[in-house]
Amino acid sequence: MIRKMKSIEELLEEALVGEAEQPYEVPENWIWSIAGAVTKTLRGVSYKKHQVESLKNVNNSLILRGGNIQDGKLLNQDDNVYVPKELVKEEKKLKIGDVVIVSSTGSSKVIGKAASVSSDFVGESFGAFLTTIRPSKKMDNGYFSLFYQTSNYRNMISNLA
């Protein structure tokens, strides 16, 4: 079976947000795009209770959880969780520019909490109740991560929760 390749125009049309759906005007040299066209979404690492360690060592990796996200920042906690490094695929190791989001919880106040990854957490990972959004290398990480701290984002999450 031969699959037809999409043209640049078709790909661009799929990636752009229609004028009617744009919530507000952006500068002339910016565009509104569908997030999935310029990002990669990663679900967190699953692990079993018996695999958890409470102290960091060279053979394990920190697994961020919802409590590590406070006021738009990632923080270490007294009850951090560590799992064997072999449970963490390379793709799920955090990078500068990634945004970690609480994507599964019983609390509508916690769902959607987000923080951008700082150098302190590069190479660490995140648990199954979190999602990481990794922007395209062509995007400005600073602007990308700021969106997740805006009232527009919080309102959207509240409406969906």
Answer whether residue 7 is part of any domain: no
Nearest to 134 by CA among 97, 91, 88, 89: 97
pLDDT score of 156 more than 90? no
Strand partners, 135: 39
pTM, to two decimals: 0.83
Residue 83 or 2, more confident: 83
Question: Of how many residues is the chain composed?
Answer: 161
Answer whether residue 123 is part of any domain: yes
Domain housing 123: 35-160
Answer whether residue 43 is part of any domain: yes
Mean pLDDT (whole number) for 144-158: 85
Mean pLDDT (whole number) for 42-64: 93
Number of domains in the chain: 1
**pLDDT tens track for 16-33:** 888 898 888 889 888 888
Answer whether residue 154 is part of any domain: yes
pLDDT score of 6 more than 80? no
Residue 114 or 10, more confident: 114
Answer whether residue 28 is part of any domain: no
- Domain of residue 111, CATH code: 3.90.220.20
C-alpha–C-alpha distance, residues 56 and 81, integer Å: 9
Q: Assess contact for 108 and 161: CB atoms under 8 A.
A: yes
Q: Assess contact for 61 and 82: CB atoms under 8 A.
A: yes
Q: What is the pLDDT of residue 83?
A: 96
Nearest to 81 by CA among 130, 136, 20, 38: 130
Q: Assess contact for 141 and 135: CB atoms under 8 A.
A: yes
Contacts of 39 (CB under 8 A, 6+ apart): 133, 134, 135, 136, 139
Q: What is the pLDDT of residue 102?
A: 94
Average pLDDT, the chain: 88
Answer whether residue 12 is part of any domain: no
Answer whether residue 105 is part of any domain: yes
Paired sense of beta strands 99-102 and 114-116, if any: antiparallel
Answer whether residue 15 is part of any domain: no
